[in-house]
Structure 1
Amino acid sequence: MAVGSGLSVASLYYVQPLLELLAREYGLSDTKAGLLVTVAQLGYLAGLIVVVPLGDHHERRKLLTITSALTALGLLAMGLSHSFLMLVAFSIMVGISCVTAQILVPLAAHLASDDKRGSAVGTVMSGLLLGILLARTFSGVMAELAGWRSVFIVAAVLMAGYSVACYKILPHLVPTSNTSYRTLYASILHLFRDEPVLRRRSLIGGLQYAVFGIFWTAMAFMLARQYDMSEAMIGMFGLIGAIGILAARIAGRLADRGWARLSTGGFLMVTVSSWGLLYWGQWSLVAFGVGVVLLDLGIQGAHISNQSEIYRLNPEARSRLTTGYMASYFLGGACGSASAAVSYGMGGWPAIVALGSSVSILCVVIWAVTELRFPVKRMRQ
């Protein structure tokens, strides 16, 4: 499950180190090239809303096999695209189908015992986070060695292999819901209405992922122009950020011990602290690298803490809880990516730092006002 989560979600992020290269090839502005990330995330948002709730309603092994196969086809089509519009269209297709990871995470929570649920989610999320971060390294190296098309073609082969593995290895599980589709989708809104923890954690998660999108969308432009880095060198910063994967295991264990509430605030403040170093990253790669590590530690730790809390709410609706939370999460990411593309075009890296640090501080304020004021609602008996 960890491997599959990493492979599927990586499909969203292969394009980020390639933005400068694609802007040159297709004669695009920074803003227009950056929107390629935004449309993929909006596709992912659509997949979260439409596809992920089916994990409560359908046999999950079959659903995972289909979504993995569709992602492989979409990636292959991206690698064979001959225009920017085709690339955009197939990016949306990949975004919709690569929600495989968000079906696997609640599946892990479903299979784990109560006292190990945080660790189980943390383990699968470790794979997911590693996929997000190493996607950039893989993409940058492959683009330099064999051109940008090779990135998507090789990724398509890997996803096709995982689709076969899903069918052969994953267990058969009886669906947890037999309601109509209309009731199934309407219940997502009811969960938001009835679960204050879901509302609060979704708001914090969405803003945190906006910070993530702000940084990673603009990073390629800054490193390429300030340090004249190649795509491979830019992608290597994914390896540095991968240290943030430690936060997933730590956050999972803290959640199992009942510390998810306070640890969330700690992770949010780590994110805030990263932006000072990222600002000085214009002149020091050491400062920039340390800032990347802190940023990812903070964002990923808060994310795991959020998920550990929402999966305690309603065991029979974990896929729908995932939809509610992750839809908010990726809506925030799409807004972050779009605002980064515009902000960098208007004010360069200082504008990105100002935007990212402001949203990070807002997350801390919201956590302090909501999580410290209201009691945590535990799982219904």
Structure 2
Amino acid sequence: MLLPFSLDTYDQRYQRVLERMKQRDLDVLLVNLPDNLSYLCGHESIGYYWYQALIIAPGLEHPVLITRISEKASVDETSILRGTIYYRMHFDDPIQMLVEFLTKHGLAAKRVGIEMQAFNIRPAHWDRIKEVLPNALFHDASNIVLEERLVKSPEEVSFQRNAARIADHAMQAAYGALRPGVTEIEIAGVISKAMADVGGEYPAFPVMVASGPRTTMIHGLPGHRPLVAGDLVTMEFAGVYHRYHAVLMRTAIIGRRPRRLGDVADCVKEATEAAIASAAAGQLTRVPKHVADEKLNRLDLARRRVHRVGYSIGLGFPPAWVEAMALEDSDPYTLCESMSFTIEPNLSLPDEGFGYKMGSTILCTAGGGESLSGLDHDLVVID
């Protein structure tokens, strides 16, 4: 088996999830998110666009996965799973197989936790589950595993530090490739190759590169536009190590920076560094947001922020690297040591023809946030 963590680590995670289920009075938990499944048993595959579910219940000897027969080699090679139910797509009904298993173990009429917010639960799956389990009591258990993942172990932190090193290397390579005539797609290719050259894995979201007026797009994917002198270029991507992500966002300009852009860049740097410093253990998650907005409002820029100031990050698979926590007023969490999250007070100013990205992955400590990136927060000027 190819496992990033010890068998004891997976067992400890499983036991903590069972305890969370007990606190929620759940008899069964169906885990669908691929990152949650990987967290609990190591399984790594991109076959999750077909139905799969990890069945967890206190009375079971071990968790049981339902997945396609084509995933068997991946299950054997990348997971600790000892009980797997395989189905043949186009021939077998995985939901019926789920019902048969729950019925066999006396769980078909119990309190069942469902990851309602899992992107790979289709409406047809949900309708079918309700149809064939009419006596079950369903509860939204979307955050049970996600909340367990918020505080990172020392080994997880080391993986994210490696991921941040990979991202820094790729950003430096991108700076070296920025020049008139090079397309956004070519820059994205430089970034991807640079990450692979130092051991980076595929990220949960594509490399983002936007230039000129396209920088107003907060999630601007690279196009065929060639760079020209005077262009602003925004870049966002994540280094990945053992599926643990460290996101990095920076902005560069080809040539001299105009005064207005320089003022905005300096203000964003001030907001970013103040927010990082405020992200100490014991603070409410909304604190870095308010600190960043206060600094941005020196130039009336908080209202131009079109994205959360940050969110928790760690283990990830496509289509996203986002975890449960957000640095927002509505978020219920308190920052704890060894939580990892982004801080990214990104701006979009379409009326001025540009946007601005600045962000890194941060580790919460007792004294404030620590940026896992070794790069500074200045606008990079490409002469």
TM-score (norm 2): 0.29
Higher helix fraction (1 or 2): 1
Higher strand fraction (1 or 2): 2
TM-score (norm 1): 0.29
